[in-house]
Chains A and B, each alone.
Chain A
Amino acid sequence: MSDRRIRVLIAKPGLDGHDRGAKVLARAMRDAGFEVIYTGLRQSPEQIVNAAVQEDVDVIGLSILSGAHNHLFPKIMELLEEQEASDVLVIAGGVIPEQDIETLREIGVSRVFTPGTSTQEAIQYIEEQVGGSDACKST
Chain B
Amino acid sequence: MFDEEVLRRLDKAKREWEEGPVQKAISRFPERKDEFRTLSDQPVERLYTPLDVQDIDYEEDLGFPGEYPFTRGAQHTMYRGRMWTMRQYAGFGTAEESNRRYRYLLDQGQTGLSVAFDLPTQIGYDSDNDMSVGEVGKVGVAIDSVRDMEVLFDQIPLDQVSTSMTINAPAAVLLAMYAVVAERQGVPLETLSGTIQNDILKEYVARGTYIFPPEPSMRLITDTFAFCAEHLPKWNTISISGYHMREAGCTAPQELGFTLANAIAYVESALAVGLDVDAFAPRLSFFFAAQSDVLEEVAKFRAARRMWARIMKDRFGSDNPRSQKMRFHTQTAGCTLTAQQPDNNIVRVALQALAAVLGGTQSLHTNSRDEALALPTEESVRIALRTQQILAHESGVADTVDPLAGSYAVENMTDAIEAEAKAYIDRIDEIGGAPTAIEDGYVQRQIQESAFHHQKSVESNDRIVVGLNAYQIDEKPEWELLRVDPAIEEQQREKLERLRNDRNNDDVTNCLGTLRDSARDGGNLMEPIMAAVRAEATLGEICDALRDEFGEYQAPIIL
Contact = CB atoms under 8 A, between A and B. Distances in A.
Pairing of A with B? yes
Interface string B196-237: 000000010011110000000000000000000000000000
A51 to B, nearest CB: 12
- Looking at B338, B375, B455, B481, the one whose CB has the most chain A CB atoms below 10 A away is B455
Given A41-B555, A67-B138, A24 B451 contact: yes
B252 to A, nearest CB: 16
Contacts of A116: 338-340, 372, 468
Given A27-B559, A95-B373, A118-B459, A66 B119 contact: yes
Interface in A53-96: 66-68, 70-72, 95
B248 interface: yes
A23 to B, nearest CB: 5
Contacts, number: 93
Contacts of A120: 459
B109 interface: no
Interface in A113-132: 114-116, 118-120
Interface string A18-35: 111001101110000000
Contacts of B132: 15
Interface in B509-559: 555, 557, 559
Given A26-B559, A98-B477, A115-B338, A70 B455 contact: no
A8 B458 CA distance: 24
A50 to B, nearest CB: 16
Interface residues of A, number: 35
A28 B448 CA distance: 12
Interface string B87-110: 000000000000000000000000
- Looking at A15, A18, A36, the one whose CB has the most chain B CB atoms below 10 A away is A15
A115 B208 contact: no
Nearest to B373: A97
17 contacts: A15-B132, A15-B209, A17-B206, A20-B248, A20-B451, A24-B451, A28-B452, A28-B455, A40-B555, A41-B208, A41-B555, A42-B208, A67-B374, A68-B138, A95-B372, A95-B374, A98-B477
Q: Which 9 A/B pairs are nearest by Cβ-Cβ distance?
A: A17-B208, A71-B134, A15-B119, A68-B134, A67-B138, A115-B339, A40-B557, A98-B477, A115-B372
Given A24-B455, A71-B134, 20 more contacts: A14-B119, A14-B134, A15-B131, A17-B203, A17-B206, A17-B208, A19-B208, A20-B249, A20-B335, A24-B448, A36-B559, A39-B557, A40-B555, A41-B208, A42-B208, A66-B119, A70-B134, A71-B133, A97-B374, A119-B459
